[in-house]
Amino acid sequence: IICPFIDMANHIGMKEEGNVAFEYFGNGYSLASTTKLPKGKEVRISYGPRSNDILLQQYGFVEEDNAHDVYVMPPLREWDISALEVAVGRKFLPGRLDKLDRAGLLGGTSLSLDDDENDFEEGVANRGRGVVITRAGGIDPAIMAALRVLVSSEEEWQSAGEAVGNLVTENSGGKENERLARFAAQKALELELEGKETTLEEDEELMKKMVTWSDAEMLAVQFRIEKKKLLKETIFSLSLL
């Protein structure tokens, strides 16, 4: 729906100053401030809880520190399991990956030419059932449960009744199990960042020099800066026990 004038209102993901409503008796839309504002202050509205993927695809901009942003990592089956074993100092016991696969926690496979290009979830391509990370909630809780299973010792696994469902809550496998699961997640996110062609710091420096670049080029760098910031924030939160 195109609403003349109202469409001119800019978006803010949280604490919007304005609200759009349909006025039934007036047969039109109204835009009203929801808080007292000084004269000349811009009234921003919320386009909804949109990730930067949606904002860029549908509206052509990227929101800094977007509270609703999302990052999709490759599915767990494609993670570097050997690197995680080295990081946590434990060899994952036989049969754990098969157990997680049967529980549907390893996700799908990499994209192929047969994948449906229109298969989107919340505006974010996730055809391989990848690992979803959000700014609001961090790493997918189901993946944390899978990591508790992977890093568990034989004793921890037996104490959980050898059931994935008994390791879904924080510290359900014990404090040491939780520490190692979080460390494994942290390592996986660090590897994801290391796989990028540029670092967050390099991108931020690049933005300062892009005065002559096109809008599309600047948006591309802004977009990847926000995704890297989300990964770094999640890594930091995982380090807190």
Q: Is the pLDDT of residue 19 over 60?
A: yes
- How far is the C-alpha of 45 from the C-alpha of 161, rounded, in Å? 50
Residue 75 in contact with residue 130, Cβ under 8 Å?
yes
Place of tokens 């386009």: 47
Predicted local confidence at residue 120, as pLDDT: 44
Q: Write down the pLDDT at residue 118.
A: 44
CB 177 within 8 A of CB 152: yes
CA separation, residue 121 to residues 118, 205, 229 (Å): 10, 32, 22
Q: Is the pLDDT of residue 74 over 60?
A: yes
**Residue 27 pLDDT more than 70?**
yes
Q: Is the pLDDT of residue 53 over 90?
A: yes
Beta carbons within 8 Å of 55's beta carbon, 6+ residues apart: 11, 47, 61, 62, 63, 66
Average pLDDT over the chain, rounded to whole? 88
* Cα distances (Å, whole numbers) of residue 234 to 12, 71, 72, 208, 220: 22, 10, 13, 25, 22
Tell which wins on pLDDT, 4 or 228.
Answer: 228
User: To the nearest whole percent, how much of the chain has pLDDT over 70?
Assistant: 90
Gap between the Cα atoms of 201 and 205, Å rounded: 6
Q: Give the contacts of 123 (CB within 8 A, at least 6 positions apart).
A: 50, 51, 53, 54, 57, 58
pLDDT score at 116:
47
Phi, psi of 73 (to 5 degrees): -85, 165
Could you report the per-residue pLDDT of 208-236, keeping only the tens digit for each? 887 788 889 999 999 999 999 999 999 99
Reported as a single tens digit per residue, the pLDDT across 166-202 is: 999 999 999 999 999 999 999 999 999 999 999 999 9
Note the pLDDT of residue 2.
61
Q: Are 6 and 29 in contact (CB under 8 A)?
A: yes
What does the pLDDT read at residue 124?
A: 57
